[in-house]
Amino acid sequence: MNRRQFLTAGTATLAASAIADNSAPPKFPKPIKFGVSTYSYWHFEEKKFPIETVIERAAQLGVEGVDVLHRQMELDEKAPLDAAGRAYCRNLKRHAFRNGIDLICLSTHQNFVSPDPKARQAAVDHTIKTIEIADAIGAPCIRVNAGRWRTIEDFDEFMKKRGLEPPIAGHSEDEAFAWSIDGLGKCLKRAEELGVILALENHWGLSRSPEGMNRILGAFNSPFIGALMDTGNFLEDPYDKLAAIAPRTVFVQAKTYNGGGLWYTLELDYSRIAKILADAAYTGYVALEMEGKEPADTAVPKSLEMLRKAFGR
């Protein structure tokens, strides 16, 4: 073999290796564990889908965890956590343990964006209560929102405008970021005491962009706050944006839209998303959030199969 033949053969070998590498699942520091969100079975319909049933189905599907949507629990969302509520939490934790399932996150709602100090304090008090609920069910993190202006009240209309809304008259984005950072900081103290991580989701409002996410998270120096990557909440050109928050990501909610989405449908490349997370050395859970119109009993298993393939499981 002469030099030209050797170089040609070597180039062909490298090209074949590159193709093989691109088709292979990315390598993570540790095998990724999967969960399923209770939201996958209940999209805010009038009748709640029981969390206990989601736990049982997750066990049958062979996933490791369940991400609990706070509003889906049999608790008054705004009322204090009383003795009956704590008993309910203990029963959920026992039921999960008996089914071999970890309760991995409590997905909560709050809004720190308000010029009214009393409204902001109410959001803090509510979030602290949900941190205590997470502790009661044994969940090591909660999903938190930075907040939004709510100048567009109707959510369907808000979605039509791609999650963009104007500030309250006379106020600025800088004020809103200051309010959100202050509110999260007050909640973080209780989270640290109980060992519960605050996972800030890229969820409209101030956190609808990676710049907004990193502006908020950059204000803190604590291992008990990080990013929650929702793969379906960057509506345009998502991959560079997902990569921008990947280094801070502590939890992932993976959206699928079987049967068409409730508000919109994204064609997400999960092999590409898995590589983004692997490049960031992600080692946490990936929880399925099926937000499609197909019945969950068929859509959830199909979605989990797709995610397992993309993440090399």
CATH code for the domain of 232: 3.20.20.150
Please tell me the predicted confidence (pLDDT) of residue 159.
Answer: 81
Please tell me the predicted confidence (pLDDT) of residue 5.
Answer: 41
* Any domain includes 183: yes
Write out the residue range of the structural domain in which residue 147 sits. Answer: 32-310
Looking at the DSSP bridge assignments, the partners of residue 228 are: 201, 251
Please tell me the predicted confidence (pLDDT) of residue 7.
Answer: 34
Please tell me the predicted confidence (pLDDT) of residue 158.
Answer: 86
pTM score, whole prediction: 0.90
* Any domain includes 285: yes
* Any domain includes 68: yes
Please tell me the predicted confidence (pLDDT) of residue 9.
Answer: 39
* Any domain includes 64: yes
Please tell me the predicted confidence (pLDDT) of residue 225.
Answer: 98
DSSP state of 26: P
CA-to-CA dists, residue 249 to 198, 277, 286, angstroms: 11, 9, 11
Q: What is the rounded distance in angstroms from the CA atom of residue 66 to the CA atom of residue 288?
A: 9
Q: Which helix (H) or strand (E) holds 290?
A: strand 285-290
* Any domain includes 88: yes
**Count of domains forming the chain:** 1
* Any domain includes 16: no
Please tell me the predicted confidence (pLDDT) of residue 293.
Answer: 97
Looking at the DSSP bridge assignments, the partners of residue 144 are: 200
Q: What is the rounded distance in angstroms from the CA atom of residue 120 to the CA atom of residue 126?
A: 10
Please tell me the predicted confidence (pLDDT) of residue 187.
Answer: 98
* Any domain includes 110: yes
Residues of the chain with pLDDT under 70: 1-23
Please tell me the predicted confidence (pLDDT) of residue 21.
Answer: 41
* Any domain includes 288: yes
